[in-house]
Structure 1
Amino acid sequence: MTVVSIKTRAAVLKGPYDIELTERELTCGPTEVIVKNHLMGICGSDKNFYRGKLPPQTAEFRQEPGFPFYLGHESGGTVVEVGERVHEYKVGDAVMAFGWNNNFADYFKAPVTDLQPVPPGLDLDLASLGEPVGCAMFAGMEAQVKLGDVVAVFGAGFAGQVIAQCAKAAGAYRVAVVDVCAGKLRLAKELGADVVVNTAEEDPVAAVKDLTGGRGADVVVEAAGSEEAINQATQALAYGGKFVFYSWVTQPVRLDISRWHDDGFTFINACLVHHTREERFVWAPRALRPVAQGLVKIRPLITHEFKLSEIKDAFALVDKDDTAVKVVLRP
């Protein structure tokens, strides 16, 4: 079999706030696939890395934290090369990335376990965001929202917006979205949230209690990733309610957990997408069906678009502009 090498521009983070495109050469291994990118998304975790807060190596597939750090995991595109032992994909297949493979690039190389076929009915723009959409949809499904529930989502970023829409689609009586950014809250309201709470203007715990006659929410979702939000969500939850953890909190936090013991909460760890590779092939198509149907709207969440060559500008915007929800790049 002829070995083919493909040259690509790829992003490397040389240090905090120091990102640039370099040239890399990709050679497809026997169990690997090379994909031509269609669209890439900037994750909230990428923003943290850009600021120098590198992730702990808590999984075997993550690179050891340190610079240079090869960025990118949200993308999708078309298969252009497959290894000799790859039977799952062929050249021309449309795929979604579900792994860290330096995806801020014209082309990226990935093991077959880090890819997912694009499901029927989902166009490649949305499929290229299959990883962040899948993560959030998985959380929305795992939250087990029931008809008549009051749901409070803490955090109106990309994931929080998706989870709030899931709650409405599942039959929640009221959905409240909590954030400090007025622009994100306006968007949440446009996408179906019943109540939005700006923490710069009011106490979110009091607001949720007012909404529920003092009971608290039946389900709270923590999608903000902060110590304050976790503690506020704890106080806003009703006796016997469900606490859904979504955020990736990489720094130690201090938590007031007396209610966790006293009030019979159920805890759901809802961001297991990267640790359920085999199961993902089963649940990902199901999770993305409501997106293909239009029940959960993703396009309004794409607030900014750049070319890959403008990656410095894209990260500068993500770093400074809290109104940005999902920033994408095209090759």
Structure 2
Amino acid sequence: MNILPQRIKQLVNYGPRDYRLVSDAPLPTPKARELLIKISACGVCASDVHCHGGAPMFWGSATAPSWVKPPVVPGHEFFGEVVGYGEGALEHFSVKMGDRVIAEQIVPCEQCRFCKNGQYWMCEKHDIYGFQNEDANGGMCEYMLFKPTSRVHKIPDSLTRNECALIEPFACSIHAVNRGDIQFNDVVVLSGAGPLGLGMVQAIRLKTPKLLIVLDTIPERLRLAKGFGADLVMNPLEEDVVAKVKALTDGYGCDVYIEATGNPASVPQGLQMIRKMGRFVEFSVFSKETTVDWSIIGDRKELDIRGAHLGPHCYETVINFFERKLFSAEGVVTHTYSLDEWEAAFENAHSAESVKVLLVP
């Protein structure tokens, strides 16, 4: 029988650029239908870095309230082991003590129009683990709670730690690719070969389009994308990617453009290289507002613009793909740090040296 500690380590967000490691936080006590999870690893997402840096989309502005509600434990790319539970929790989630589990990023309210219609990932209240204090403390800690409305999935023993840590980002990848409605004869351009982009490369490859082109400015990420199945890779800093894509498509442009860089320059780039009536999928979390010439979308090209948010109904697919070796984590997780080293982890996650950075308690 495991003896649980009474005091634990947590990284706590108190405000922009005010994150502190708390070494003597009380062990969370699970209430009815809540699970206590011993965290095995938690990824550092670009949104974590933007939030730490004070991006207005997280902290609000003169016209919008703050979405983040500190103090809160950050981290939404976590997985771990069931080590405790409140009344009815094991039956509620169909798990048992010792199971490896992951919860989806969102904690649905179950009361709003979207939740009642089954569109839980667009919940109006929209609590995301790692951003809203007691309602959704995240996984950059030793132990956390899975709330009663969580979407919880069991993880088989066959998956490695790195594969488990990529379930959340790769679920987002699959959802974005599904939004693109890729057909066999499509020329697809994916802009961005970060952790999510590399998941998208693998998902797009399974859709077997006519041609898959991946864009990024970091050579190592382009190398990984090529290894995961991209037909062509290009660096926008080194060549005219718009002209090259048009040359490859008889001047028309690509059929599908998926934007996954977080760089505002990638958006007008995509609008220039996509064909008339093409499908533009926007996935990125930007640190600042991005503007484009909307006449391109409407009057000039009549584009189909599709957003992609979170990874609904995709977690079990990612787990299955890892089990069947249709997805690979090889080379995606590049660095691991302890909770004590969180500052170095955040700095590295913001650099070109890393792909996916993990915090391992």
TM bin (shorter chain) = 0.7 to 0.9
Q: Matches of 2:5 and 2:341 in 1, distance apart?
A: 25
Letter in 2 for 1:291: F
State whether residues 104 and 152 of structure 2, in contact with CA within 8 Å, keep that contact through their aligned partners in structure 1. Answer: yes
Q: Matches of 2:209 and 2:320 in 1, distance apart?
A: 19
Q: Matches of 2:270 and 2:16 in 1, distance apart?
A: 31
Change (3 A) 1:114 1:122: farther
Select the residue among 104, 107, 110 that pairs with 1:98: 104
**Alignment-derived partner of residue 114 in structure 1:** 150
User: Is residue 139 of structure 1 aligned with residue 176 of structure 2?
Assistant: yes
Change (3 A) 1:323 1:194: farther
**Alignment-derived partner of residue 83 in structure 1:** 86
Q: How far has the Cα of 1:127 moved from its partner?
A: 2.3
Q: For each residue in 1:299-331, what CA deviation from the matched residue of structure 2 results, as whole angstroms up to 9, or x when unmatched? A: 321111222232222112223x21311011222
**Alignment-derived partner of residue 159 in structure 2:** 123
Q: Matches of 2:14 and 2:59 in 1, distance apart?
A: 18
Q: How far has the Cα of 1:69 moved from its partner?
A: 4.6
Select the residue among 210, 224, 227 that pairs with 2:261: 224
State whether residues 133 and 288 of structure 1, in contact with CA within 8 Å, keep that contact through their aligned partners in structure 2. Answer: no
Change (3 A) 1:115 1:93: farther
Select the residue among 317, 324, 336 that pairs with 1:286: 317
**Alignment-derived partner of residue 270 in structure 1:** 308
Letter in 1 for 2:21: L
State whether residues 10 and 104 of structure 1, in contact with CA within 8 Å, keep that contact through their aligned partners in structure 2. Answer: yes
Q: Matches of 1:42 and 1:24 in 2, distance apart?
A: 21
> What TM-score does the superposition give when structure 1 sets the normalisation length?
0.87
Q: Matches of 2:284 and 2:360 in 1, distance apart?
A: 27
State whether residues 100 and 156 of structure 2, in contact with CA within 8 Å, keep that contact through their aligned partners in structure 1. Answer: no
**Alignment-derived partner of residue 255 in structure 1:** 292
Q: Secondary structure at the match of 2:13?
A: strand
Q: How far has the Cα of 1:51 moved from its partner?
A: 1.7
Q: Secondary structure at the match of 1:324?
A: coil
User: Is residue 28 of structure 1 aligned with residue 30 of structure 2?
Assistant: yes
> Which structure dedicates a bigger proportion of its chain to strand?
1
Select the residue among 162, 172, 181 that pairs with 2:199: 162
Deviates more, 1:120-129 or 1:223-232: 120-129
State whether residues 121 and 292 of structure 1, in contact with CA within 8 Å, keep that contact through their aligned partners in structure 2. Answer: no
**Alignment-derived partner of residue 238 in structure 1:** 275
User: Is residue 12 of structure 1 aligned with residue 12 of structure 2?
Assistant: yes
Q: Secondary structure at the match of 2:265?
A: helix
Q: Matches of 1:212 and 1:121 in 2, distance apart?
A: 45
Provide structure 2 residue ranges, at least 5 long, that are not aligned to the other structure: 61-65, 106-128, 130-136
Q: For each residue in 1:207-244, what CA deviation from the matched residue of structure 2 results, as whole angstroms up to 9, or x when unmatched? A: 22122221211110010123211111111111221111
Provide the identity percentage: 30
Change (3 A) 1:76 1:180: same
Letter in 2 for 1:308: L
Letter in 2 for 1:165: Q
Q: Matches of 2:152 and 2:167 in 1, distance apart?
A: 9
Number of aligned positions between the proteins:
317
Q: Matches of 2:344 and 2:59 in 1, distance apart?
A: 28
Equivalent residues in 2 for 1:31-46, closer than 5 Å: 31-46=33-48
Q: How far has the Cα of 1:152 moved from its partner?
A: 0.4
Change (3 A) 1:75 1:272: closer
Q: How far has the Cα of 1:159 moved from its partner?
A: 1.0
**Alignment-derived partner of residue 326 in structure 1:** 356
State whether residues 184 and 323 of structure 1, in contact with CA within 8 Å, keep that contact through their aligned partners in structure 2. Answer: no
Q: Matches of 2:72 and 2:248 in 1, distance apart?
A: 45
Q: Secondary structure at the match of 2:35?
A: strand
Q: Matches of 2:70 and 2:318 in 1, distance apart?
A: 35
Deviates more, 1:175-184 or 1:111-120: 111-120
**Alignment-derived partner of residue 118 in structure 2:** none
Q: Matches of 2:248 and 2:337 in 1, distance apart?
A: 40
Letter in 2 for 1:77: G
Q: How far has the Cα of 1:140 moved from its partner?
A: 2.0
Q: Matches of 2:289 and 2:344 in 1, distance apart?
A: 31
Q: How far has the Cα of 1:165 moved from its partner?
A: 1.9
User: Is residue 196 of structure 1 aligned with residue 226 of structure 2?
Assistant: no
Q: Secondary structure at the match of 1:227?
A: coil
Change (3 A) 1:121 1:31: closer
Q: Matches of 2:10 and 2:151 in 1, distance apart?
A: 19
Q: Matches of 2:302 and 2:327 in 1, distance apart?
A: 31
Q: How far has the Cα of 1:203 moved from its partner?
A: 2.3
Q: Matches of 1:95 and 1:67 in 2, distance apart?
A: 26
Q: For each residue in 1:35-74, what CA deviation from the matched residue of structure 2 results, as whole angstroms up to 9, or x when unmatched? A: 011111111111112222264489xxxx843654531111
Q: Secondary structure at the match of 1:27?
A: coil
